[in-house]
Amino acid sequence: MVSKTGHLFEQSVIEKYIESTGKCPVTGEELSADDLLSLKVSSTVKPRPVAASSIPGMLTLFQNEWDALMLETFTLKQQLETARQELGQALYQHDAACRVIARLIKERDDARQALAEARPSAVSAPAASAAPAAGAMEVDGASGMTPVVIGRLEANAKGLSKGRKKRQPPADQTTAEAIASFSALGSAKAHSKGHTCVDVHASEPLAATGGADGHVSLYDCATGTAKATLKGHTKKVHEVSLHPTKPIVLSCSADKTARCWNTDGEQLHVLSTHSGPVTACTLHSTGDYAVTASTDKSWALHDLETGSSVFVVGNGTAGASRPARTSCGATRQRALPHMQHAHAHAQCPHSALHAYPCSSRHTSTRDCQVTPAPASTRTASSWAPGRRPSCGSGT
C-alpha cells in the first residue's frame, strides 16, 4: 500500500496502525484508510541465485552473514569502550574542577574574613601596640616588655651580631686531642638519690650539680671540695646554670619553681610563675635576665635583679619536656622553639673550653660535647686540665 505521503507499507500493518493512531507512522500526519492506494505488482517469483540453489552455497551465505555480524559486534564493542573511557575522563575532569572550585571558594572566604578582621585592627593599631602580645599570660607582678627591656635586648643582639662576623677562634683554643687526654683528678659524692644535671663556670673553677633529692651543690674544682649546698627545692632539680660574670646560680625543679642563689649558698629569689614542673632554665646573654620553661606549655622571662617576671607566654602546642643533655650539661631543648632562641642568645657556660660564646659560633650549646664520665658511680668527677665536672650518671 502507498499512502498520500509517498511511503510504502504492508497493507495489514498500516491498516492496524491507522486504526489505532490515525496518523502516518513516518511523518506523523493525519492519515486514513481512504488515503491508501494498492500497488499492482507482478506475482512472478524471482528465481534464487545460483549460490543459494545448493546446500554448500547456502552454507557459504550463512557464513558470510555470520562474519559480517561478528565484525559489526566487534566494532560496536570498540565504540562502547571508547565511550566509557571518554565518560570516565570527563567525570574525572569534572571532579577535579569541583575540587579546584571548592578550594578557591575557601581561599576567597578566608581572604575576605582576614580582610574583615584586619580592617578594625588597622584602625585600632595605636591602641593595640600598647596591649600585650598574643599568647601572653596575665601574671601578677609581671612588668611586661617595657621600652627599657626591649632596648637592652636589642642593643645586646646588635652587639653580638657585629662581633660574630669578626670573631675568630683563639690560637690557644683547646683541641680535641687535649680533651681526649683529660683525666679524673678526684670525685665526690654529690647527691644521695643521684644526679640530674651539672654546669661549670665560664671562667672560674666552680661547678654546680642538681640532684633528685632537690638539692643544688657547688664545688670548688681547684680543690675538689664541696663549697655549699643550696637547699630550697622540694622535688628533683631539672637544671642548673652558673652566671658567667656574677655570683649567681639559677636552678629549676619539678616543684614548679625556679630559684636564684648566690655562690655563698643564700637564696635570692623564688620564681613561681609556672603551674607545672619547670623543666628548663637558661641565662640570657645580657646577664640581666633568665628564661624558664615548663610542662604547662609556657615559658617566661625573669629579671635576675628583682626576681620578677618580665614576660610570660603560654598556650604553647606542647609542654617543655625533660631535655636531653650532652655530658657537659648543655641542653638539647627541642620541644620549645622559644627556649631554643633564648638558649642561642645565652652565654655558653663552657666558653672556657672553646673560648667564645655559643651565640657567636653556633645556634645552641648542644654543639659543646665533652667525653662523659663513667656511668658506674653517682659522683661528680673533675677533669684536667680544664677541671670540667661531669655527672657520674653519664647524663
What radius of gyration, in Å, describes the C-alpha atoms of the chain? 46
- CB half-sphere exposure, 207, CA atoms < 13 A: 28
Q: What is the pLDDT of residues 92-150, one digit of tens each?
A: 999 999 999 999 999 999 999 988 888 766 555 444 444 444 445 555 456 667 888 88
* Residue recorded with cell 585592627: 121
How would you list the strands of the sheet with 379-384, edge to edge?
Answer: 183-189, 379-384, 390-391
pLDDT at 185 over 70: yes
Do 279 and 252 meet the contact criterion of CB atoms below 8 Å apart? yes
Q: What are 367's three cell numbers?
A: 654543639
How distant, in Å, are the alpha carbons of 172, 178, 299, 346 from that of 175?
A: 9, 5, 36, 23
311 or 125: which leads in pLDDT: 311
61 or 143: which leads in pLDDT: 61
How distant, in Å, are the alpha carbons of 35, 84, 238, 316, 387 from that of 9?
A: 12, 39, 105, 89, 120
**What is the H or E stretch that residue 110 is in?**
helix 55-123
Q: What is the DSSP string of 182-251?
A: -EEEEEEE--TT-EEEEEE-SSSSEEEEEETTSEEEEEETTTTEEEEEEE--SS-EEEEEE-SSSSEEEE
What percent of the chain has a predicted confidence (pLDDT) above 90?
Answer: 22
Q: What is the pLDDT of residues 313-340, one digit of tens each?
A: 877 666 665 544 433 333 333 333 333 3
How high is the pLDDT of residue 143? 63
Q: What are 112's three cell numbers?
A: 575576605
How high is the pLDDT of residue 153? 85
How high is the pLDDT of residue 6? 84
State the average pLDDT over residues 159-174: 78
Pairing of the two strands 390-391 and 298-303: unpaired
Q: What is the DSSP string of 38-80?
A: ------PPPPPPGGGSSHHHHHHHHHHHHHHHHHHHHHHHHHH
Q: What is the pLDDT of residues 219-272, one digit of tens each?
A: 888 887 888 888 889 989 999 999 998 889 999 999 999 999 998 888 998 988
How high is the pLDDT of residue 173? 82
